Amino acid sequence: MTGDQEQQWPIDEDLGALRDFLLRRAALAGLRDDRLDDLLIAVNEAVINVLEHGGGEGTVTVRHDADCVTVDITDTVGALGRRDVPPRRPADAVRGFGLWLMSQLCDEFTIRRNDGRSLVRLRMCLDTVPAR
């Protein structure tokens, strides 16, 4: 399936429903196995950040083309920036390394601010080995 229209999902506390939605969308696009799991983990981390630090509200937007699955996660606070991503996993941290983890799991990881919102973009290419 290619040229898929984007679909949105409102962020709320029901992370299981969001993961099911994302699993179906990414699998239909052709993402499989560890790469699919990596995307699910990364999106889960981003959504938890929205719930805990990003105002508790936002949107997950999923789209794909022949090459990639792209997931945009937006929040309502707009305080997140690239400077917030540690260059290495914090050594003794039990929490607080979600942004670093997203950067390691996905082929593309970007953060932008726009109109008072933060946008995290996670992209996984369909026919490539992970760029880690």
Mean pLDDT of the chain: 87
Which residues have a Cβ under 8 Å from the Cβ of 37 and sit 6 or more positions away? none
E-state strands within 27-80: 58-64, 68-75
Does 60 score more than 80 pLDDT? yes
Percentage of the chain beyond pLDDT 70 is: 86
pLDDT digits (tens, 9 = 90+) for 93-122: 666 678 899 999 999 999 998 888 999 999
| pTM of the shown model | 0.86
Domain ranges of the chain: 7-125
CB 102 within 8 A of CB 108: no
Fold assignment, 7-125: Heat Shock Protein 90 (3.30.565)
